[in-house]
Amino acid sequence: MHESTMRHLLEKNDKAHLRRTRRVFEERKDSMAMVDGLPVIHFCSNDYLNLATHPAVKKSFANTAGSQGLGSTGSALISGYSKSHAKLEAAFAEFLQRDKAILFNSGFHANLGVLTTFAGKNSVIIADKHCHASLNAGALLSRAKYIRYRHNHLQHAEELLYKNQERASLLVTESVFSMQGSISNIRQLSEMAKKNNAMLIVDDAHGIGILGKTGAGAGEHFQLTQKELPCLVTPLGKAMGSYGAIVSGDETTIESLLQFAGSYRYCTALPPAICEATLTALALLKNESFRREKLLHLCEFFLQESRKYNFTLASQDLTPIMSVVIGCSEKTLKIQQALIEKGLLVSCIRPPTVPANKACIRISLNCAHEEKQIVYLLDQLNEQYNAGE
């Protein structure tokens, strides 16, 4: 596009109160952070179990970087696949009770690879309307017919599956939706997929570490076998506190990704240090269940306390994502800024991430938060929510 066109688009974006800005994080420790020189209680992080800065995780990363250096030096199919990568894949396959796993560089890379491998121009992809941008991008890149069902509307999903059962179909959802915090009924989606000869693909980015008796995510929470949930995408940048994404399934599923996923083949592999640090985080997830237990208690506490106020949550499901629907992008921005001035950092979510009338304050809880911090947040949020009314 010409420069004048881009200037016009930027001006239009500004008028709609949609400009994004970056904040400089100078320090993160437990529930606190130093952001743009200001100390704040951090309610933006996806590090739900507070593992990213765990001393053991940092030590593992530093030790591996000290012995193996910074980068992996090549793609996994050429020179970048190390013993650390193989160990991480095997550890997650075992933890998730899957036959095999493959490590992608990010959840975005994984979703692009999965959808372009298992769908093509003669396929149809049926996905929840609130699925992540990476799933939308993968569906469009696959050239498949792309249809979206109303959010968590199982009847609508089944109608679309039935209408398209003569074509190779993928049924796609997130386990926990990243902006709303709502949980998808994957058990019923699995039954519908089997009935209509579709392949179920689940992005478990916000489910891993949270859902299930041991935190193993959606498969454990809904007690689904590998056959019932054939393709599971497990990004590692949320509760695991790391980076990259595991895709797991049977031998054929994973070998197909190894051979045909361009977003795997043409990327320099992640550094071995990230793999070793993630292995340490996985061990902590397994051995320190108190983290998940405290987090779920805080989620219950937040939902209970929020009922004292008149704002609307996007979901009442028990997850660390608590989004307060504001509606107007301008007002949402003003509330965020006012909260920062009160020492509270929350996310301001606006279109196109959410629909035009669904701008929201997204609050992420982690196990390092305390009840008094949540009470303070809700009090201040309520004050700003009702300001000027």
| CA distances (Å), origin 100, targets 83, 195, 255 | 16, 25, 9
Residues 250-277 as b or e (16 or more Cβ within 10 Å = b): eeebbebbbeebebbeebebbbbbbbbb
Exactly one of 72, 105, 178, 263 is catalytic; name it: 178
Exactly one of 221, 238, 294, 358 is catalytic; name it: 238
CA distance 275 to 244: 9
369 labelled catalytic: no
Exactly one of 46, 72, 169, 196 is catalytic; name it: 46
Asked if 142 contacts 115 with a C-beta cutoff of 8 angstroms, the reply is yes
Q: Tell me 203's DSSP state.
A: E
CA distance 39 to 5: 39
CA distance 323 to 316: 10
Exactly one of 128, 174, 220, 317 is catalytic; name it: 174
174 labelled catalytic: yes
CA distance 365 to 252: 38
142 labelled catalytic: no
Asked if 106 contacts 85 with a C-beta cutoff of 8 angstroms, the reply is no
379 labelled catalytic: no
| CA distances (Å), origin 329, targets 18, 19, 158, 338, 378 | 7, 10, 34, 14, 20
| CA distances (Å), origin 193, targets 77, 327, 335 | 33, 34, 42
SS3 content of the chain, % helix, strand, coil (to 5): 40, 20, 40
175 labelled catalytic: no
Strand order in 312-313's β-sheet? 312-313, 321-327, 359-364, 347-349
Exactly one of 203, 204, 276, 317 is catalytic; name it: 203
Exactly one of 85, 109, 130, 206 is catalytic; name it: 206
Strands 359-364 and 344-345: unpaired
* Residues carrying an active site annotation: 46, 132, 174, 178, 203, 206, 238
